[in-house]
Structure 1
C-alpha cells in the first residue's frame, strides 16, 4: 500500500505553483519534506487505514 500525502511547506508550494518550477520529488537529493506535520499525517493516515481494515474484517466484509 502506498500513501501520497502533502510534504511541502505551503509557502514553498505556492511559490512553485506561481513560478511553474516543480518542487523536487521523493527520489531527488533535494527532496526536503517538512518533518513534523508530514510524519504526523502519515502516521494518522496509516493508523486509520489499518483500523478500518480490522473493522471490515471483524464485521465480515
Structure 2
C-alpha cells in the first residue's frame, strides 16, 4: 500500500492563529487519517482509521 505524503490542514475555527490539531485527509483513500498537534509539527502523529474518523466527524456535527 502506498501512502501519499500528508497534506496537513487546520480547522477553519483556528483562524485566529491559535494552535489546533491538524489532519491530513488526502490519505483517507488508503484507509487512514493522520492527526497531529499543530504546535509540534515534527512531533508524533496519531493514525486513525478513515471510517472511524468519518464517524467521529459525523457525531461532532450532530452535536
Q: Which structure has the bigger radius of gyration?
A: 1
Q: Same fold (TM over 0.5)?
A: no
Higher relative contact order (CA 8 A, sep 6+): 1
**TM-score, length-normalised on structure 2?**
0.24
Greater share of helix residues, 1 or 2? 1
| TM-score for the superposition, normalised by structure 1 | 0.25
